[in-house]
Amino acid sequence: MSPSGVDLSVLRAVLTEHAVGIDSTSDVGAGVELARTSLAQYDFAIAVIPSDHEQRDASLSAIYIEIGVAVARGLPLLVIAGTSIPPSPALAGATTIVMTQLGNEEALRLHIGVFLRQMQSSPRVEQAARLPASSAPSVPADYVMRLQAVRESPGGLRGAEFERFVGDLLREAGAQAEERSPWEPDEGIDIAAFIPGEEQRLGAVVIQVKSGTLTSRALQATQHELSAHVLQAGAGLGMLVYDQVAPDAREVPPAPLVLSLGIDQLLTELETKPLSTVLAQARNRAVHGA
């Protein structure tokens, strides 16, 4: 797992020394496509976050999605970072995180040797994608109170707080969700997610989050922008999660491959239904107008 254009020659040489076969996610299934790919034949994964990550916004989004997929599948994961990186829910599940430059052969040989010895002492137990422990919803009631606190946040912080709230809510409901990294520009997709066990039915879901109050025109424009992102990313579904719409807003027809849910409606539905059912029913309503 590595952004394109990164020199991996030293890393590949060290792995070859240890007789490790190498497959790139660009060949197996990059970004959201990895969620549809079986990883049972692999013993471990390595993710590379280079020191110039701030100049690689687009490709890093895909790497973080791939990291989330590997963690969800229980695949031991070594993350090699060229410099310090912000915390991330996906990285929390990594087996080992080390900081070293990709050209430092001695450091790579040391860290990879230790990592491989750990793998040999604790053989991997093959497992499929982890399903939620129960089909019953498990979203705590205090999310309603937390939403009110987000709405009362200062204007300059409200957007980021609302985005974080939605990401936490999706994870609480059983999704593997990765939010846009802090250094990435806002290019229309705030969260990428999938539900373990539902990859074939729902595919990867790309999510845009909108705080504040939307007019009909803004809602329609946002839906069409998200639809274009879904097609470009090859995702299965686009989801627009918004806070509120203006009282006089007219009903807006859905855009292709996009469903829209107000946060209050999403919270209400998650009280009685699993997230996969909420998304499937919302998609059906968008398609059939029901």
Give the pLDDT confidence score for residue 123 in this predicted structure: 56
Give the pLDDT confidence score for residue 129 in this predicted structure: 44
Give the pLDDT confidence score for residue 108 in this predicted structure: 84
Mind listing the pLDDT tens digit for each residue in 208-237?
999 989 999 999 999 998 888 777 666 667
Which residues fall within 8 angstroms of residue 73, CB to CB, at 6 or more apart? Answer: 39, 127, 128, 129, 130
Give the pLDDT confidence score for residue 169 in this predicted structure: 92
Domain ranges in the chain with CATH number 3.40.1350: 142-288
Candidates 3.40.50, 2.30.30, 3.30.200, 3.30.2010; correct CATH number of 9-121?
A: 3.40.50
Residue ranges for the chain with pLDDT beneath 70: 30-33, 35-36, 52-62, 83-95, 121-138, 180-188, 199-200, 232-236, 286-290
Classify domain 142-288 by CATH number: 3.40.1350
Domain ranges in the chain with CATH number 3.40.50: 9-121
